[in-house]
Structure 1
Amino acid sequence: MVSPARALLLLVLACAITAADAREVESDIVVYGGTSAGVAAAVQAKRMGKTVALVCPEQRLGGMSSGGLGFTDAGSVAVIGGVAREFYHRVWRHYQDDSAWRWQPRDAFNNRGQGVAAIERSTQTMWVFEPRVAAQVFEDLVAEHGVQVYRDEWLDRTPGVGVSLSNGRIQSIATLAGSRYSAGVFIDASYEGDLIAAAGVRCHVGRESSAAYDEPHNGVQRDAIHHPHNFAVLASPVDAHRIPGDPSSGLLPRICSDPPGANGEGDHRIQAYCYRLCLTDHPENRLPIERPARYDPGQYELLLRVFETGWRGFFHKYDPIPNRKTDVNNHGPFSMDNIGFNYEYPEATYQRRAEMLAEHRDYQQGLLYFVSHDPRVPEDIRSQARQWGLAKDEFPEQEGWSSQLYIREARRMVGRYVMTEHDVTGARPVPEPVGMGSYTLDSHNVQRYVDENGKVQNEGDIGVHVPPYGIAYGALTPREEECKNLLAPVCLSASHIAYGSIRMEPVFMVLGQSAATAAALALDDDCGVQEVDYQRLKSRLVADGQVLSYAKKQARPAHPRGARSPTEGAKLAK
């Protein structure tokens, strides 16, 4: 079985492309990226009466929504409307059929979601689901609307080749297969922002300094302990060296020797990636966790020291989804997040990205194998880990592994309007909203370093509650002098910390729909996307079920856990 990373590597290294592989396609709108935002944009374009080409590097539609993130990061579900809400209604409809519950009785399912009930009967929506169900819903949406989907099509990122520009407008894009797609408006719905970058639109990678936009939670955050994903929450400090107390012995693996930087300082680092794992404890549907070919138990020595402190939260984020399966996320000081191994990913070549995908899978597969087999792992952890395996009926083409790495953050456009912490927290009004967000200001850890006492620490993890807020149309559009017919609903214009709240799958679907609506209006009026009449745009969005405003309830405190120092945060997080 060829892994996704290997398949991509073979594609990139191919030295000849036959003429039969190439195609010439003209449409009103081209959507690049088969993410949930890409599907929502393509469906909305068809509903607006436009022809559309959905050009996908991926084979599987839906991005993370069908790639393992079934325990939806919802925030306030009241602000999720339009195509996004329709998606969650279709998921609900699927699980109304008794045949959908093959591995678990319906009444045995834990009706728990993230801040919301998994199944909301009053609104006929479901916020927790299996990856294969989400994938089928996306396939149904594009099929019902007659969307032309072109899969396994990778943008040629060669400067001056992949994107054809004239008078500030994209005329066409070319792919590695030799195909060319022409349109009046283009939408970059990829997680990486490859199209906006290839079009010469200004982007940012990494954290801005806190001074750049006057944001308290941007830049290096050494003193912030908002979640228990930090070594400060353990019962005792953990030495960073191979031989405790002996710096000459070198650092344990997975710890960076570089200084972390001063609080508030900007850097090139981005929050960690991981695969969201769909595991099951049902014996008939369980695949064993195999030993990776490049397995090195030494990579997990730090986790042994975490266990030695008495920490037992390893399985805390094995969140239940239907049919005795899980959406496994990161939890704790050393977990699923591959901290510090993704900095170059956003702008890396396809070949280098493929190598990084393989490294991330090796890390997580090795981690699961380690905790279930290594005799040094406490038996209570090992015995519980052995109960879980990959689900046979999920991602069968990859033997249970998702093809979609969780790209929590990559490039971010610097557009007409930059969403910042001030917009997300409600400190200032957002102009011309085209959708809403509501999730916590959320950044996973960015680095793992050694403090001045030789102890290991994680840095970059942030969690600050915010009220529902609008997302500006200007954040979806480049500056007019850079490109007049391009929209970016995923790698939109936002600071690192504001993006930490915006970057949720329901919001991406909302913004994908809004971007396509704006694209259609720009075509109708023969104008640039920056010139779209906002009142017309707003009217159509509201008519199509988008939520653009929300009556504020009593605001939660800006620092829900009151954590302003490692010591104080550790006490509160226990």
Structure 2
Amino acid sequence: MTRSFIASFLLLPSLLAAADSADVIIYGGSSGGITAAIQTARMGKKAILIEPTQFLGGLTTGGLGATDIGNKKAIGGMSREFYANVFKYYNDASKWKQETREAYFARKPHGNTGSEDTMWTFEPHAASEIYDAMLKPVEGSVTVVKGERLDLKKGVVKEGTKITKIVMESGREFIGPMFIDATYEGDLMAKAGVKYHVGREANSVYGEQLNGVQVGHSHSHQFTKNVDPYVKPGDPSSGLLPGIEKDPGVEFSGDRKVQAYNFRMCTTDDAANRRDWEKPENYDERWFELALRNVEAGDERISWAPGWMPNRKTDTNNNFAISTDFIGQNWDYPEADYETRAKIWKAHEDWQKGLMWTYAHHPRVPKNIQAAFQKLGLAKDEFTDNDNFPRQLYVREARRMIGDYVMTEKNCKRLEVVEDSIGMGAYNMDSHHIQRYVTKEGFVRNEGDVQVRSRPYPISYRSIRPKASECTNLLVPICLSASHISYGSIRMEPVFMVTGQSAATAAVHAIEQGTTVQGIDYEKLKERLLQDGQMLDFESPPIPEVSSFKKASLPGIVLDDNDAELTGFETEGHTTPGFVEQGYRHDNDENKGKSRARFTPSLVKGGRYQIAIAYSALANRAAAVPVTIHHAEGETKVTLNQKKKPDGENGFQPVGSFTFEAGKSSWVEISNEGTKGHVIVDAVQWLPVK
């Protein structure tokens, strides 16, 4: 053995132990992590992008192709560049395999017209290809490291308030003057000693109205039938079915519970590319008994929301009472160790696969529901390295930092406007359900869903940096400082791209100015953000004071869309104000002649009643919506022009007065037969005529 070989061998351990270094160390290869890495390189610095898994892009490449935006004007910088690249990608005819570009846009897909210079829907593999193309020009300045997880026990080393290095489970170390936590979980932030919150704050904490327990608010994605929650129906002593709580908690109080997670499945109706739903090996019917009881009770809504992506694929999301959200089974996830998270992750996968098989094949499920779920199956050409199932769990919220400034619903409503913007949010304040519970009447209900309009609003730089007393060289663009309900608006992938890019800009400024992330010159940061095309603020029309009406506050007998017997009308809307309760249904301008909603009142007293119908008017509505009134003297047919604002009070349009018998023999039915445009189903009012 030569002396030089021996010397090299002796040096090898020290070489292996040498830390990787760069100007900015980014932990988390999410959409925000990618934009942070690219921005660092574009500003002339070196970045290391560390991703614990083997793929980049988080939810954007993990199935969430139906981009939730709100007002598109709010999206700027590299985020808009990404969506412009999606547009360019699909202008290539070779990218269309299962359909043509023209056929796709003819279906009016989510958020797209086909005539803009951006596109907001895409297949998972397309997002990966686009990110790879965006990273390629900076590959000399960005080092991508995959498969390395932060050591949760000794992974962050600090000197005072400064992180000096981070250590992976493998022992690999990374050093640099600046760090960015771009994970959905906020592990780096937490292990750096930065204060954070998990769950819902009470309304009283930040002077909000939409935070905390929301039993009185949860009307969307709700049970419409009375479903027994007990193992042995009618017998409380037999215990509750899995996933149901006895008590939801005190209204508006805080808790440690987080909104539900799911997987955004990419399905297709193309027979050659579709996988049939398979029964999981560890299928446990106890978990699906509630879904079976719900359909047996008469809820025949199709409980998922498959938004159409190119090439006859979907981004499939949660919808209605029991769907892909695994409600209440993720509360431990944010602060859990990797082993516990893996178990929670697997339980979510088992739930979703088991539910799909149940709805598609279980003999207790009605044939029409089975047929709807059999029509779509996992796309064989997506997630080929993961048995065609999404690789990313939709962690809708986990930890949220408590920084110098906490974004709240006051910001989302523009009641409070910050002056140190790094980008904008624009989507609804949107929380999915958080728990299932038993009502005092002994039936199961969902709780936690809130969907309330926001105005486009600026996001504070102070909300992505920790307090100076806690950490001075860390930025947190995803698990940023926000209340539960405001985070429900901020937590959108295009916004994370914006905040990730802005975080990197701030990190580079801190290096160049020789200061901390708290000490940089905001005016210089603002100048660079604007130079890079970031949208920092613009004025938008106020949200109408009355965006919804409560049934209890309205005269007469009012039945909401949740009270109707629905065939079709599966899409829920919440964005156009003036609706009754928490939203309305519409037909998405599709399946004409196949959707109807029948409202059947229980009239204590017969007599003459004026019928009025509530709908939210808009230019894309149908001008001649057929309505049938079944009354004591026969049937009367009228049409509604839903482009025109209702003439009556409280958003109702009177359509005539009729005589009705006591009981449940009368009804009003709205259909989409022969219509052009969106047909809206909101509420019907029976008002006694004196």
Q: Which amino acid aligns with 1:355?
A: K
Whichever of the two has the greater Rg, that structure is 2
CA spacing shift, 1:162–1:105, aligned 2, 3 Å: same
SS at match of 2:459: strand
1:553, distance to aligned residue in structure 2 (A): 2.3
* CA–CA separation in structure 2 for the residues paired with 1:326 and 1:520: 39
Change (3 A) 1:90 1:230: same
Alignment partners' CA distance in 2, 1:396 and 1:163: 35
Q: Is the 8 A contact 2:403 2:467 kept in 1?
A: yes
Confirm or deny that 1:464 pairs with 2:452.
yes
User: Is 1:443 aligned to 2:431, yes or no?
Assistant: yes
The aligned counterpart of 1:237 is: 226
Higher mean alpha-carbon deviation, 303-312 vs 329-338, is at 303-312
Q: Which 10-residue stretch deviates more, 411-420 or 284-293?
A: 284-293
Q: Pairwise mapping of residues 25-40 of structure 1 onto structure 2 (< 5 A)?
A: 25-40=20-35
SS at match of 1:126: coil
1:305: how far off? Answer: 2.3
Provide the rounded CA distance (Å) in 2 between the counterparts of 1:418 and 1:241: 41
2:44 aligned residue (42, 49, 62): 49
Q: Which residue of 2 aligns with 1:282?
A: 270
DSSP-derived class of the 1:125 partner: coil
So what's the TM-score if we normalise by structure 2?
0.77
Q: Counterparts of 1:82 and 1:431 in 2: how far apart (Å)?
A: 19
Question: Alpha-carbon deviations, 1:174-213, whole Å to 9, x = none?
Answer: 1011111101110000000000001000011011111001
* Equivalence for 1:322: 310
| 1:536-555 equivalences in 2 (<5 Å) | 536-555=524-543
Q: Is the contact between residue 465 and residue 560 of structure 1 (CA under 8 Å) also seen in structure 2?
A: no
Q: Which residue of 1 aligns with 2:286?
A: 298
- Aligned with 1:449: secondary structure? strand
**3-state SS in 1 of match to 2:203:** coil
* Structure (1/2) with the larger helix percentage: 1
1:92 aligns with 2:87: yes
Decide whether the 8 Å contact of 1:225 with 1:563 is kept in 2. no
SS at match of 1:37: helix
Contact 1:91-1:137 at 8 Å conserved across structures:
yes
**Hey, what's the Cα distance between the residues in 2 that align with 1:23 and 1:55?**
17
Superposition deviation, residue 230 in structure 1 = 1.2
Q: Which amino acid aligns with 1:382?
A: Q
Cα distance in structure 2, aligned partners of 1:513 and 1:342: 29
Alpha-carbon deviation of 1:389? 1.4
2:136 to 125, 143, 150: 143
Q: How many residues align?
A: 547
| Aligned partner (choices 56, 63, 67) of residue 62 of structure 2 | 67
Q: Deviations over 1:257-290 (max 9, x none)?
A: 3x21111110010000000000111111112222
Is 2:19 aligned against 1:24? Answer: yes
Match of 2:108 in 1: 112
Rounded to whole Å, the distance in 2 between the matches of 1:20 and 1:562 is 68
Using CA pairs under 8 Å that are at least 6 residues apart, name the structure with larger relative contact order, 1 or 2: 1
Cα distance change, pair 245–213 in 1 and its aligned pair in 2 (3 A): same
Q: TM-score, normalised by structure 1?
A: 0.92
Q: For residues 564 and 230 of structure 1, do their structure 2 counterparts lie closer, same or farther at Cα, with a shift above 3 Å needed? A: farther
* Amino acid aligned to 1:373: H
Structure 2 residue runs without a partner (length 5+): 1-12, 564-579, 586-690
5 Å matches for 1:167-566?
167-227=160-220, 229-231=221-223, 234=224, 236-257=225-246, 259-315=247-303, 317-557=305-545, 559-560=547-548
Displacement of 1:255 in angstroms is: 1.5
Distance 2:426 2:550 in 1: 20
Secondary structure of 2:293's aligned partner:
helix
Q: Return the letter of the residue paired with 1:112.
A: K
Matched letter for residue 29 of structure 2:
G
Q: Quote how far apart the aligned CAs of 1:554 are.
A: 4.2
- In the TM superposition, structure 1's runs of 4+ consecutive aligned residues that sit over 3 Å from their partners are 18-23, 110-114, 556-574
Instruction: Say if 2:303 and 2:320, in contact at 8 Å, map to a contact too.
Output: no
C-alpha displacement of 1:550? 1.3
Deviation at 1:441, TM superposition (A): 0.4
SS at match of 2:179: strand
For 2:520 and 2:562, locate their aligned partners in 1 and report how far apart those are by CA, in whole Å: 49
What secondary structure does 1:448 align onto? strand
Q: Is the 8 A contact 2:304 2:324 kept in 1?
A: no
CA contact (8 A) 2:304 2:323 kept: no
Q: Let me know the Cα RMSD of the aligned residues.
A: 1.9
Give 1:108 deviation, angstroms.
Answer: 1.6
Whole-angstrom distance in 2 between the partners of 1:554 and 1:476: 27
Maintained 8 Å contact 2:23/2:178 = yes
| 1:531 partner SS | coil
With over 3 angstroms needed to count, the CA separation of the structure-2 counterparts of 1:559 and 1:269, relative to structure 1, is: farther
Distance in 2, Cα, partners of 1:532 & 1:569 = 52
SS of the aligned residue for 1:347 comes to: coil
Deviates more, 1:558-567 or 1:470-479: 558-567
SS at structure 2 position matched to 1:109: helix
Q: CA deviation at 1:316?
A: 5.1
Q: Distance in 2 between matches of 1:434 and 1:61?
A: 24
Distance, in Å, in 1 between the alignment partners of 2:500 and 2:44 is: 16
SS class of match (1:386): helix
Which moved further from structure 2: 441-450 or 52-61? 52-61
1:103 paired residue number: 98
Distance 1:564 1:185 in 2: 55
Structure 1 or 2: larger strand share? 2
Letter in 2 for 1:85: R
1-structure distance, mates of 2:487, 2:283: 35
SS in 2 for 1:277: coil
Superimposed CA distance per residue, residues 408-429 of structure 1 (whole angstroms, 9 cap, x where no aligned partner): 0000000011001111111112
Q: Contact 1:21/1:178 (CA < 8 Å) preserved in 2? A: no
The alpha-carbon distance between structure 1 residues 563 and 481, as it changes in their structure 2 partners (threshold 3 A), is farther
Aligned counterparts of 1:390 and 1:46: Cα–Cα separation in 2: 37
Is the Cα contact below 8 Å between 2:302 and 2:372 reproduced in 1?
A: no
Amino acid at match of 1:295: Y
Asked whether the equivalents of residues 466 and 556 of structure 1 are also in contact (C-alpha less than 8 Å), the reply is no
Q: Which amino acid aligns with 2:231?
A: R
Cα 1:100–1:154 shift into 2, 3 Å: same
Hey, what's the Cα distance between the residues in 2 that align with 1:248 and 1:559? 43
String of CA shifts for 1:305-344, please: whole Å, max 9, x gaps: 2223432332551111011111110001110000011000
User: Are the structure 2 counterparts of residues 65 and 166 from structure 1 closer, same or farther at C-alpha, using a change threshold of 3 Å?
Assistant: same
TM-fit CA distance, 1:93: 0.6
Deviation at 1:293, TM superposition (A): 1.4
Give, in whole Å, the separation in 2 of the partners of 1:273 and 1:559: 28
Q: CA deviation at 1:245?
A: 2.4
Q: Distance in 2 between matches of 1:63 and 1:467?
A: 27
Residue 129 of structure 1 is matched in structure 2 by 122
SS in 2 for 1:499: helix
Q: In structure 2, give the amino acid aligned to 1:253.
A: P
What does residue range 147-166 of structure 1 map to in structure 2 within 5 Å? Answer: 147-158=142-153, 161-166=154-159
> Quick one: distance in 2 between partners of 1:558 and 1:19?
67
**Distance change >3 Å, CA 20–CA 319, structure 1 → 2:** farther
Say which of 74, 78, 87 aligns to 1:79.
74
**Contact between 1:155 and 1:195, CA under 8 Å: does it hold in 2?**
yes
